[in-house]
A and B are shown apart, each in its own frame.
Chain A
């Protein structure tokens, strides 16, 4: 990996520029040379937030650098120079090559492949560390979280976890999923010949001809296989691991495809490009893997990639506009979407009879999941008690969040600070605000609202919206498919409310403070994702 980097000056900062490679069907594609003057000219007229340029020979992506001392934009940008992409070149159309290549692999070969990638990363820890350093210049997540996310790549690529994911997510007929992925599995299915064959027995002379259908022969045999697919993953940048998780799912399903890295998390994808190209360039999984970037919504690219027949699956993560835009254009391709959702906490009145600080500590853990950018993080908390009790709880929670501010200071984008001001002076002017500040600026807090809260207003930056309710059941009407997670306190209330919470569309209900719980084979958004990514094929 490092050799590639040194040879082609990849992932090395030079004068505020970083050259970021792509992987296109196994080929590492380095960006062309673009001078500093060309870049400055390209962004000369750009306003803040206008951070992308498509040149004929390259793509430029600039991200504002964050000064970790002041936790504000430094005024500098880190510019990523990336290759252009040819969308048609990303599409797999040689099915023979696919069937003989990645589709024919055994699960053991997949786990070996992951092991190879992992070893390459471990052997090139300097490269990984340098990519992390680059990420930290611009990452909006706290430094601590970004470091932890990089460290977690190791867990994600762990071969044992990978096998468990396959076995559990593709399990059917009480048979582990790896068998279906390895090849055909004959089922004791007691298959019926079908109505037509039964009716055909009335045809003159059909008796002998129908014999194979009705008894023995191929008539009784049924086999099932989890067949790989051609996948397009359009990922989101709410967590640095998302592009890696998407690539992992593509690999675990032995599939061919494209992962589009998101703005804000292109470097983890680039690391994977390097590792695959360096450690296993000829491996069928590398040969059919592409990791690239383009600006979301670019019709010249997406028009081709979302066209009917280009892919068998389109996986889309992200903001409402991104998901609905892809949904509306990929009408003829099966879509697996991770829609924008949010998390809630339900805190029973028992909290006030017990150790309120302990409860607030647990609730803060859930608020802090991916710095509240994850859909499993707690965004709105329903507290069973009077408004005064809710305010008392909010004070404790704000204190816990203040401690987190010290441990993992967060960068608040100007738009977030603007949104907080807007909320405090506007729609939620009557609410009780308990905000923490760092150097005079908002850093975290809780707001106690007696009325409804509009989720569109949520800044998702360590702000817990506390809503007092007389009975936790009053929170139930606010739970729906848009809610991903419910953390409940105490355990007996979780048991009592669990089915009602989940029956309304929420995906997961866990004890308060434990909402980040993960395990191989866990469903996401109500789906066994690998199961959605393979095609279940039937033959004899």
Chain B
């Protein structure tokens, strides 16, 4: 068992290094990463067969055992992202966390031996799992039915290390940071192991930046989890809402309050995000001005909906915020708002550039999902580059994999870093997929358009944040 874990960790380390080299634009890194990725996917397949009941069941149905190539996985063993919400909603309604544990065991690679005695709420259950090393990240759609993606410490560390190692060089390509930082980051990426690089990044941080997270101070969504990791890297940081958006509150938002207690929970939230919304934006804007006055650059992180509101708030204050040159805006979350209204990328980026006094090149869009361990950044040529640590597959309407270098369909991923849960997953996003060399210098797979597949609800952090309008 320990030997297997070491082997898996070694594979991951090599894959992170190769992907990092790709992010630096090194020739030949893509092919190297691809070979390592396929090997790691096959190792994961064996691991899932042994340790993931849900995966084993479907593999048995398809009469698939050990594999030497990954094609049968793409054809027969991909699971829709809804597998992470395949529990019975009544168990949460009735606080039956014993059954939730049993469900979690189906999609988690270790026994869930967590005592549920005394657990009164969904939030308590998640907390208790955390105490036992199981970190649940939540996602929700318009239905309010939460997805729970479980990771253990090892899976989490791989995610954090991979993100630091790959995102660092990618952002440096976008000229984030001073020339000295660029040299240091790119140099360190060449010299250090992924773990050392990630450790150094954490220690050194980006102290010449202050951060503004257009989100809740704490919670369990993918974005919130990431923000909690990022926050200590900055000199100081501020959250839009200095309160918690708990999974149980997200669930009430989607499903409607069922009793007085839930009604009160919702009213408390509404007080912050509806009645005090403008005050909260003003506070964040004031902090950005202060950081600029202190000579600090500002890093802002949020979803399209929150940026739209931020721009509106700055507009109401009548004075644009002129952030220090070098500041960076990072956003994601889709273009269709919960109201059904669509907002164009160009329009929003134009608003952000004007309101924040930044060139459009400093406004970076990202794409990811709770179920995967990677981020895709949109380059200045409009491509969301898929890091070669991920194998992307495009599916037709019937969920058959398609082949080709220019495709349109539903995107799925085989994620070698997903060791704790089934990481061979078909999303609900319909994309335009392209392969080849991009003018930005990166090569490989990318997507250029992203939308929700027909019939799939709006989901993700963008959806959750937008729902708060109601």
Contacts and interface: CB of A to CB of B under 8 A. Distances in A.
B143 A451 contact: no
Q: Which 3 interchain pairs have the tightest Cβ spacing?
A: A426-B82, A426-B80, A451-B88
B79 interface: yes
Given A426-B83, A454-B145, A414 B340 contact: no
B458 to A, nearest CB: 11
Contacts of A414: 396-398
A419 interface: yes
11 contacts: A421-B80, A422-B426, A425-B79, A426-B83, A426-B86, A427-B80, A427-B85, A429-B54, A429-B86, A430-B103, A452-B89
Nearest to A452: B89
A427 B455 contact: no
Given A422-B426, A426-B82, A452 B58 contact: no
A100 to B, nearest CB: 44
A430 B86 CA distance: 7
Interface in A180-208: none
Contact of B83 (A324, A413, A429, A452): A429
A22 interface: no
Nearest to B457: A456
Interface residues of A, number: 25
A282 to B, nearest CB: 45
B90 A452 contact: yes
B340 to A, nearest CB: 7
B81 interface: yes
A92 interface: no
Interface in A428-469: 428-430, 450-452, 454, 456-457
Interface string A472-488: 00000000000000000
B397 A450 contact: no
Given A425-B79, A456-B143, 12 more contacts: A47-B408, A414-B396, A414-B398, A417-B398, A418-B395, A422-B399, A425-B78, A427-B80, A428-B86, A429-B79, A429-B83, A429-B86
Contacts of B90: 450-452
Interface string B170-205: 000000000000000000000000000000000000
A415 interface: yes
A299 to B, nearest CB: 13
B454 interface: yes
Contacts of A418: 395-399
B369 to A, nearest CB: 14
Contacts of B426: 422
A456 B457 CA distance: 8
Contacts of A429: 54, 79, 83, 86
Contacts of B78: 425
A418 to B, nearest CB: 4
Interface string B413-441: 00000000000001000000000000000
Interface in B71-120: 78-83, 85-90, 103
B82 A427 contact: yes
B126 to A, nearest CB: 20
B93 to A, nearest CB: 9
A422 B80 contact: yes
A451 B91 CA distance: 9
Nearest to B90: A451
Interface of A: 47-49, 324, 413-415, 417-419, 421-423, 425-430, 450-452, 454, 456-457
Nearest to A455: B143
Given A452-B89, A456-B455, A426 B81 contact: yes
Contacts of B79: 425-426, 429
Nearest to B77: A425
A451 B88 CA distance: 5
Contacts of B58: 425
Given A425-B83, A429-B54, A450-B88, A415 B340 contact: no
B396 to A, nearest CB: 7
Contacts of A427: 80, 82-83, 85-86, 145
A429 B382 CA distance: 37
A427 B81 CA distance: 8
A462 B80 CA distance: 22
A456 B428 CA distance: 13
B243 to A, nearest CB: 29
A324 B339 CA distance: 11
Contacts of B408: 47
Contact of A415 (B88, B143, B397): B397
A324 B340 contact: yes
A334 to B, nearest CB: 22
Nearest to A320: B340
A47 B143 CA distance: 30
Given A426-B83, A428-B86, A456-B143, A421 B399 contact: yes
Contacts of B395: 418
**Most B Cβ at <10 Å: residue of A324, A413, A451:** A451
B89 A451 contact: yes
A120 to B, nearest CB: 40
B170 to A, nearest CB: 30
B98 to A, nearest CB: 16
A422 B82 contact: yes
Contact of B454 (A415, A417, A421): A415
B398 A415 contact: yes
A457 B80 CA distance: 13
A421 B410 CA distance: 14
Nearest to A328: B340
Interface in B380-397: 395-397
Nearest to B83: A426
Nearest to B93: A452
A78 to B, nearest CB: 20
A426 B54 CA distance: 10
A414 B395 CA distance: 11
A414 B396 CA distance: 8
Contacts of B81: 426
Nearest to A449: B88
A49 B397 CA distance: 10
A257 to B, nearest CB: 28
Nearest to A428: B86
**Most A Cβ at <10 Å: residue of B85, B145, B398, B399:** B398
Contacts of A49: 397
A439 B87 CA distance: 32
A67 B469 CA distance: 48
A10 B85 CA distance: 52
B128 to A, nearest CB: 23
Interface string B54-78: 1000100000000000000000001
B143 A454 contact: yes
Contacts of B340: 324
